[in-house]
Amino acid sequence: MFIVDNYALAVIFCVITMICWGSWGNTQKLAGKSWRFELFYWDYVTGILLFSLISAFTLGSFGEAGRSFLPDLQQADWANIRSAFIGGVVFNAANILLSAAISIAGLSVAFPVGIGLALVLGVVVNYMGSSKGDPVLLFAGVALVTVAIVFNAIAYGKQARQAQKVSSKGLILSLVAGLLMSFFYRFVAASMDLEDFVNPAAGKMTPYTAMFVFALGIFVSNFLFNTLVMRRPFEGAPVSYGEYFKGSFGIHLVGILGGLIWGLGNAFNLIAAGKAGAAVSYGLGQGATLVSALWGVFIWKEFKNAPKDANKYLYLMFLLFLAGLALIIVAGSN
What average pLDDT does the structure give for the chain? Answer: 90
Residue length, the chain? Answer: 334
Least reliable range by pLDDT among 208-212, 243-247, 314-318: 314-318
The range of the structural domain enclosing residue 191 comes to 7-332
Examine the pLDDT at 148 and tell me if it is beyond 50. yes
Angle at 46 between CA 229 and CA 270, to 5 degrees: 105
The CA distance from 285 to 19, in Å, is: 8
Q: Is residue 321 included in any domain, yes or no?
A: yes
* pLDDT of 161: 64
301: left (phi over 0), alpha (psi -120 to 50) or beta: left
Examine the pLDDT at 282 and tell me if it is beyond 80. yes
Q: How confident is the model at residue 167 (pLDDT cuts 50, 70, 90)?
A: low
CA-based max dimension of the chain:
61
Q: Is residue 259 included in any domain, yes or no?
A: yes
Higher pLDDT, 328 or 115: 328
Q: Is residue 1 included in any domain, yes or no?
A: no
Report the sign of the C-alpha dihedral through residues 240, 245, 250, 255, in that order.
Answer: positive
- The arithmetic mean of pLDDT across residues 50-57, rounded, is 97
Q: Is residue 110 included in any domain, yes or no?
A: yes
Q: Is residue 95 included in any domain, yes or no?
A: yes
Q: Residue type at 192? A: M
With contact defined as beta carbons under 8 Å apart, do 211 and 52 qualify?
yes
Output the pTM of the full model: 0.89
User: How many distinct structural domains can be found in the chain?
Assistant: 1
* pLDDT of 162: 61
* pLDDT of 166: 46
**What are the residues whose beta carbons fall under 8 Å from the beta carbon of 82, sequence distance 6 or more?**
none
* pLDDT of 188: 96
The CA distance from 105 to 140, in Å, is: 29
Q: Is residue 2 included in any domain, yes or no?
A: no
Higher pLDDT, 287 or 52: 52
Identify any residues that bridge with 192 across adjacent strands, giving them in sequence order: 205
Q: How confident is the model at residue 254 (pLDDT cuts 50, 70, 90)?
A: very high
**What are the residues whose beta carbons fall under 8 Å from the beta carbon of 329, sequence distance 6 or more?**
11, 280, 284
- With a pLDDT cut of 70, the percent of the chain lying above it is 97
Q: Is residue 245 included in any domain, yes or no?
A: yes
The CA distance from 240 to 9, in Å, is: 45
